[in-house]
A and B are shown apart, each in its own frame.
Chain A
Amino acid sequence: MTGPALLSFGETMHDLATDVEVPKEGQNLFQLRSLSFSYADGHRALQDIDLDIFPGDRIALVGQNGAGKTTLVRHLNGIYTNQAGSLLYKGQSIQGDNLIRARRQVGILFQDPDDHLFNNTIYEDVAFGPMNQGLARDVVDERVRKALERVELDHLMFKAPNNLSLGQKKRAAFAAIMAMEPEVLILDEPTANLDSRQEKIFDELLLDYRGTLICISHDLLFLYGLCSRAVVLDHGKIHHDYSLKELVSHRASLREHGLDFTFRFIDCCHSSESHDHSKESHEHTESHEHSENLDHLALSQSDKETAVRIITPPMESVPDEKSQVIRLENYSFQYKDGTWGFKDINMTVKEGEKIAIVGENGAGKSTLAGCILGVKQGSGKYYFKNDLIMHSARGELWRQIGMVFQDSSDQLFCPSCEEEVAFGPKQMGLSPLELEKRVTEALALVKLSGFEKRVPMNLSGGERKRLAIAAVLSMRPQVLILDEPSANLDPRNEELLLHILHDLPVTQILISHDMFFVNNSSHRTVVMNQGSILSDLPTSDFIEDEHLVGHQLDYAYKNVCGREIMKMQEEVENGG
């Protein structure tokens, strides 16, 4: 399936980004005054929210994890009821008939599509909304088909959701909302865990939508093309409410809210140099040029985080004498149903090296990681530290290879952080004294010291990711595999993660489709596509490779976006 054509940059982004929405005269759609809400456990999620939302607004709702964004949007269709203050939809409070109206006209797409797909076929899921809207069966049928065609899932209409991929599920859930033809569309992290091609598909789908749009996301670049107004939430309060363009221009504000994504453009920090990125080498031997910018950027951070400054991690290439840690020869993996995960892979990893494996969702990256880890068994030769790994030895690889899964929830199952981090070493049979030492050490490495007694489930997303890393590091692995480590992290946590990984001397295999992350954290990049390795080259070469576009891995679009924003930021800092 060919993806949508690359959006021509000038056409769409500027249209929306330059319009600063002027409040329209007349009725506002939503009116929130002094709205407050606390959860049952006492956590005050929203405090004194004053907000007006007008028809046609395209709002980016941003803020750190836990700021209250999800809580806020759940008020807008009546799922939550405000405990103080008032909330009016179309001039009336959300109850009774107006509640029914709100539910029918306001569509929310939650982050996890499995929450939306609760019927046994996609058809039924998409039809659920329209049927509840009271429409006739033939009208519903038409809407369902139209919606599924729009997201290119009509061939899967009568399939069960169980067998769909994540990208397909997201589109199906989106179709289920759109079939209701909502006047207001609210999206909660729509592009979480999607690769860039899937993201683009979503982008295209959303640009078509003409109603009122509220989008929650960490990805400011994605939002930049979509929204014009930015509402920033911080600890349950609205901190800023102005145009998105203004927000991204002020790097200081971004920084303050932990939204600064500019660290991703390491060479964009050079305010004095020309922006000819395509030719510029990404190896920085001197870091003093950054000092002027650093003071500017090292603003005070909130409580627990240590001050994180932008630095460019110098990526020296690894000397050849280092021994090979992992070597795969003609390695293939076949799924139970006969399809090939990947075929005839040849790959080596040297000690101390940090390699990135990139590719679309479904290219075989995670399967490859599983084979390296010993969880999956393929055919071919697999050498770990020059020992051929046979079937029986697979079960012991965990002692030397640690893997951090994409979803931290898959790895956290203990009632306290210290138990969690101690789990691995415990299975190794270490003494209680040694266990304690390792726990303290590992938690310190991920900047979670003092978290021993906390409950993992109650930590924020970024903290959980770091806890998962600590739980693996406490086993002192020789090789660390990270599967999409930056997925779902807000920019501040992503940056922190980059620093943590950079400081770790362990051999690292990084699986990601986040080009910026890869750029900043690996020596070498291996590109996989549909089960085979397309190229294996130093990261700096990879980033400049024009073939990127062909692989639909291109982030040129985003890079261009990013440069636009950089320019704006500099204008503000230098002139404004």
Chain B
Amino acid sequence: MHISDGVLPVSITIGTFAATIALTAVGVRKTKAESLPKVAVVTSAFFVASLIHLPLGPTSVHLSLPGLVGVLLGPSAYISIVLGLALQSLLFQFGGITALGANSIMMGIPALMVGWLFKQLKGTTLKSHAIAGALCGFLGTILSVGFLAALLYTGGEDFLGVGKIAFVASLPVSIIEAIIANFTVIFLFKVKPELLK
């Protein structure tokens, strides 16, 4: 779910861009210079992951995985989200170029939050990792839809209805993201646990 061009008021558009630039700069400073190419390549993996669709009854859903981005990349997550969104905008036009700032905020901040949360909760056993992963997967998505609704609301009361409905509609997707995150974290724990450090 990405916001497209033309939805948000000008002040919000500019404001979120400014915030994105600031947060990206912070992320770059927190990431070691030699890790930046690595973040770029991992972003490609997330990009490809977001293309994968999962069945949900008669339709299918695409996952955006902000939770997993946060879990795997930690403080560098924001950069990755911005990069991924920029590429999606360039390649697919999912969310407009003018909404890049807003979309980054919408997905990037939950990713950062969830990344921090995962570190606190993950514990040492497989089970604790798995539960933390599921929780973060769920929160990542729910929070970003929450941000979406909030951003839409800045456009006025008219958008409240859309926001509320988007929120409700995103519950099934959030549950799926939670389950997927759970299984993915279990896999990573068994196969390459250093990724979860």
Q: Is there a direct interface between A and B, measured as CB atoms under 8 Å apart in the complex?
A: yes
CB-CB contacts below 8 Å: A412-434 with B: 415-416
Tell me how far the C-beta of A514 lies from the nearest C-beta in chain B, rounded to whole angstroms. Answer: 31
The residues of A that contact B191 with a CB separation of less than 8 Å are 415, 455, 457-458
Number of interchain pairs (Cβ within 8 Å): 12
State in angstroms the CA–CA spacing of A415 and B191 once bound together: 6
In the complex, what residues of A have CB within 8 A of residue B186's CB? 415
A40, A41, A455: the one within 8 Å of B190 (CB): A455
A415 near B187 (CB under 8 angstroms)?
yes
Q: Nearest CB to that of B183 among chain A residues? A: A415
Closest to A414 in B: B187
Q: Per-residue CB proximity of A449-482 to B under 8 Å, as 1/0?
A: 0000001011000000000000000000000000
Q: Are A416 and B190 in contact (CB under 8 A)?
A: yes
Question: Are A457 and B194 neighbours in the complex by a CB distance under 8 Å?
Answer: no
A residues sitting closer than 8 Å to B (CB atoms) are 40-41, 415-416, 455, 457-458
How many chain B residues touch A (CB < 8 A): the figure is: 6
Knowing that A415-B187, A455-B191 are A-B contacts, what are 10 other residue pairs whose CB atoms are under 8 Å apart, sorted by A's residue number?
Answer: A40-B194, A41-B194, A415-B186, A415-B190, A415-B191, A416-B190, A455-B190, A457-B191, A457-B192, A458-B191
3 smallest beta-carbon distances between A and B, as pairs: A415-B190, A415-B187, A415-B191
Query: A38 → chain B, closest Cβ, in Å?
Result: 15
| Min C-beta distance of A336 to chain B, whole Å | 18
CB-defined contacts of B187 to chain A, threshold 8 Å: 415
11 interchain pairs, CB-CB under 8 A: A40-B194, A41-B194, A415-B186, A415-B187, A415-B190, A416-B190, A455-B190, A455-B191, A457-B191, A457-B192, A458-B191
CB distance from B173 to the nearest CB of A (A): 23
Interface mask (B168-197 → A, CB under 8 Å = 1, otherwise 0): 000000000000000000110011101000
Secondary structure of the B side of the interface?
Answer: helix
**Smallest distance from the beta carbon of A201 to chain B beta carbons, Å?**
30
Q: Could you tell me which B residues sit within 8 Å of A by CB distance?
A: 186-187, 190-192, 194
Interface of A is mostly: loop
Q: Which chain A residue shows the least CB distance to B189? A: A415
The residue of chain A having its C-beta at the shortest distance from the C-beta of B186 within the complex is A415
* CA A455 to CA B188, docked complex, whole Å: 11
In the bound complex, residues from chain B placing their C-beta under 8 Å from that of A455 are 190-191
Complex Cα spacing A455 to B186, Å: 13
Give A262 Cβ to nearest chain B Cβ, in Å.
37
Distance of A527 from chain B, by nearest CB (Å): 37
The chain A residue sitting closest to B188, CB to CB, is A415
Most buried by A among B187, B191, B194: B191
Q: Which of B186, B187, B190 has the most CB of A within 10 A?
A: B190
A525 CA to B153 CA, complexed, in Å = 69
**Chain B CB within 10 A, most for which of A41, A415, A455, A458:** A415
**Distance in angstroms between the alpha carbons of A40 and B197 in the assembled complex:** 13
- The CA-CA distance from A41 to B186 in the complex, in Å, is 19
Closest-by-CB residue of A relative to B40 is A118
Within the complex, what minimum Cβ distance (angstroms) separates B191 from chain A?
5
Nearest A residue to B193 by beta-carbon distance?
A: A41
**Nearest A residue (CB) for B37:** A118
Whose C-beta in chain B lies nearest to the C-beta of A457?
Answer: B191
- Residues on B with C-beta less than 8 A from A415 are 186-187, 190-191
Of all chain B residues, the one with the shortest Cβ separation from A453 is B190
Q: Name the B residues within 8 Å of A457 (CB-CB).
A: 191-192
The residue of chain B having its C-beta at the shortest distance from the C-beta of A456 within the complex is B191
Min CB–CB distance A337 → chain B (angstroms): 20
CB distance from B36 to the nearest CB of A (A): 13
CB distance from B112 to the nearest CB of A (A): 26
CB B26 to nearest CB in A, in angstroms, measures 27
What residues of B have a CB within 8 angstroms of the CB of A40 in the complex?
A: 194
- Bound CA span A296–B16, Å: 76
Cα distance A22–B187 in the bound complex, in angstroms: 52
CA distance A415 to B194 in the complex (A): 15
| A534 CA to B12 CA, complexed, in Å | 67
Task: Determine the residue in chain A with the shortest Cβ distance to B194.
Answer: A40
Give every chain A residue within 8 A of B192 (Cβ-Cβ): 457
Cα A415 to Cα B186 in complex, Å, equals 9
A416's nearest neighbour on chain B, judged by CB, is B190
Give the distance in Å from the alpha carbon of A415 to the alpha carbon of B183 in the complex.
11
How far is it, in angstroms, between the C-alpha of A458 and the C-alpha of B194 when the chains are bound? 14
CA of A41 to CA of B192, assembled, Å: 10
Bound complex: CA of A416 vs CA of B191, how far in Å?
Answer: 8
List of A residues within 8 angstroms of B194 by Cβ: 40-41
CA distance A470 to B192 in the complex (A): 23
Instruction: Name the distance in Å between A148's Cβ and chain B's nearest Cβ.
Output: 25
- Residue ID in chain A nearest B187 by CB atoms: A415
Contacts of A416 in B (CB 8 A): 190
